[in-house]
Amino acid sequence: MKIGILISERGSNMTAIIEAVQKGQVPNSEVAVVISDKAGAEGLQKAKERNIETLVVARKRRTREEHDAEIVAELKKRNVELVCLAGYMRLLSRDFVRAFPDRILNIHPSLLPAFKGLDAQQQAIEYGVKFSGCTVHFVDEDLDHGAIVAQKMVEVRDDDTPETLAARILKHEHSLYVEAIAKILEGKIKIVGRRVVSVTN
């Protein structure tokens, strides 16, 4: 199964996925390409160092649809079957989502459906929740909305800043994302309506 990863910035989740695949922790898989919409994304260098093909598909002055069509074409050209968003800072168009039905994943640094969108860790602190965490979910046409594959809860401490909470959540993001991908590729889960449930034989 060929995996394509989309990033915009740092790429620590991307690195975790690449390393897990290269160590054989995600069976029968290969990261075929890392695509960034930003030429300066730190993650591009990290992917190159790990011998993964990288590509910049800049937004330029194009519509979301035009930009997405180019990314979809690059993914399809490489026979990518699973798309992992890893800090990709742009909503996907309807056509992108439809090009990979139930085959696009995202990771978000909160326990969805709480705190969608940007600065989720800051939102959690400001709201005053005692626990937050991270969520791996399928991507649909709405922001941070698709069916939830896996979640991990993390404590919010009294002295947390958005940065300290983000760092505590991030450690769990890496393992949660890799485990979710492995489960999907091993056929261990199925989607029933909005619910992602274990396949029992």
> Minimum Å distance from CB 87 to ligand GRF?
3
Q: Is 108 a catalytic residue?
A: yes
- What residues contact 100, with CB distance under 8 A and at least 6 apart? 72, 75, 81, 82, 83
The contact mask relative to ligand GRF for 64-93 (x = CB under 6 A, - = no) is ----------------------xx------
List 196's β-bridge partners, or say none: 191
User: x/- string (CB under 6 A) for ligand GRF, residues 154-183?
Assistant: ----------------x--x----------
- Asked whether position 46 contacts ligand GRF by CB under 6 A, the answer is no
Q: State the residue number with the nearest CB to ligand GRF.
A: 87
> Binding to ligand GRF by residue 9, rule CB under 6 A?
yes
What is the chain written as a DSSP string? Answer: -EEEEEESS--HHHHHHHHHHHTTSSTT-EEEEEEESSTT-HHHHHHHHTT--EEE---TT--HHHHHHHHHHHHHHTT--EEEESS--SPPPHHHHHHSTT-EEEEESS-TTSS-SS-HHHHHHHHT-SEEEEEEEE--SSTT-SPEEEEEEEEPPTT--HHHHHHHHHHHHHHHHHHHHHHHHTT-EEEETTEEEE---
Query: Binding of ligand GRF at residue 123 (CB under 6 A)?
Result: no
Binding letters toward ligand GRF, positions 14-33, x by CB under 6 A: x-------------------
- Compute how many residues bind ligand GRF; rule: CB under 6 A: 14
Among 3, 44, 84, 109, binds ligand GRF (CB under 6 A): 109
**Residue 187 Cβ vs ligand GRF, minimum distance, rounded to whole Å:** 25
> Of 67, 108, 137, 174, which one is the catalytic site residue?
108
Q: Which stretch binds ligand GRF (CB under 6 A): 19-27, 56-64, 91-99, 107-115?
A: 107-115
* Euclidean distance between CA atoms 111 and 95, whole angstroms: 27
Residues tagged active-site = 108
Question: Which residues contribute to the site for ligand GRF (CB under 6 A)?
Answer: 7, 9-14, 86-87, 107-109, 170, 173
